[in-house]
Amino acid sequence: MKISIAQFKSKLGAVEENFSTAERLIEAAKDSDVIILPELWSTGYYPTPVETFADKNGLRTKNFLCAAAEKFNVNIIGGSVIVESDGKIFNRCLVANRQGKIAATYDKTHLFSFAKENEVFSAGDKISTVELDGICCGLAICYDLRFPEFIRKIVLAGAEIIFIPAAWSLKRLTPRQILTKARAIENQVFVVFANSSGKSEIINPLGEILAESGRGEEILTAEINLRDRTEVIKTMNLLGDRNLSVD
């Protein structure tokens, strides 16, 4: 599977310009199997009041992603956008498949209280996986990365690749680089971390960096082979060796 991260720093509140940038980068990465956008790519992280910038039921984003996915015959992990639904505001990831259909949605579960996300967004309450080209993929958003039990639940649901759109500050780069590797190693999965601020990564199940971006606008691409994961698990099956008898 050929995966591309469309990394760019959105302009705060400049929705039309950000949609244009996303469209241009998706076209540039159209030869990929999966393209992933960053967190809150359409608005930047995050303009206030968020209600002013919310996409009602995600309709504009859905139409945009589905049209691009069908046009270029590519799967698109639509980063995340501000969505208003049933009177609540969510930080929502939408996934469009090659057929131009929404294949999955995920609402950010762990809200970053340091940035007061918990005061403006409603938290998601379920994990989300999606099958893309026959591969089970899991979804998380930015701060979710810090919660190992959450990522483990996604892997136990069958995910072999975890896609994580983010707007992670480079001031906290070192812990983030450790966490992406740790989540990959402890779960024996691929981790694709798409960061608006730069230093995006694609990590293999051994915690090795397959590709790492710079800090500016960039298309970061890597080929992953699920057989590599199978070989890692054959050597040391961490999930199979768990002892759940301990209270």
- The per-residue pLDDT for 57 is 97
**DSSP per position, 159-219:** -SEEEEEE---GGGHHHHHHHHHHHHHHHT-EEEEEETTS--EEE-TTS-EEEE--SSSEE
Q: At residue 247, does pLDDT exceed 80?
A: no
* Whole-number Å distance between alpha carbons of 1 and 133: 8
In this prediction, residues 17-44 reach a mean pLDDT of: 98
Q: How confident is the model at residue 167 (pLDDT cuts 50, 70, 90)?
A: very high
- In a 10 Å sphere around its CB, with 0-12 CB exposed, 13-18 middle and 19+ buried, how is residue 114 labelled? exposed
Active site residues: 39, 108, 142
- Domains, the chain, in order of start with CATH, read 2-235 (3.60.110.10)
Closest by CA position to 1, among listed 233, 221, 232: 221
**pLDDT 10s digits, 85-125:** 999 999 999 999 999 999 999 999 999 999 999 999 999 99
% of the chain at pLDDT higher than 70: 100
Pairing of strands 201-203, 190-195: antiparallel
Q: At residue 246, does pLDDT exceed 90?
A: no
**pLDDT 10s digits, 148-158:** 999 999 999 99
User: 217 near 7, Cβ under 8 Å?
Assistant: yes
Q: Which residues contact 73 (CB under 8 A, 6 or more apart)?
A: 98
Q: At residue 128, does pLDDT exceed 90?
A: yes
Report field, pTM of the whole predicted structure over 0.95 = yes
- In a 10 Å sphere around its CB, with 0-12 CB exposed, 13-18 middle and 19+ buried, how is residue 244 labelled? exposed
- In a 10 Å sphere around its CB, with 0-12 CB exposed, 13-18 middle and 19+ buried, how is residue 98 labelled? middle
Phi, psi for 129 (deg, rounded to 5): -125, 160
Question: Taking the alpha carbons of 153, 180, 106, 36 in that order, is the dihedral positive or negative?
Answer: negative
What is the length of the chain?
247
Closest by CA position to 81, among listed 63, 107, 116, 103: 107
In this prediction, residues 182-197 reach a mean pLDDT of: 98
**pLDDT 10s digits, 27-36:** 999 999 999 9
In this prediction, residues 44-49 reach a mean pLDDT of: 96
- The per-residue pLDDT for 147 is 98
Q: How confident is the model at residue 185 (pLDDT cuts 50, 70, 90)?
A: very high
Structure token digits, residue 66: 């589905």
In this prediction, residues 118-147 reach a mean pLDDT of: 98
DSSP 8-state symbol, 22: H
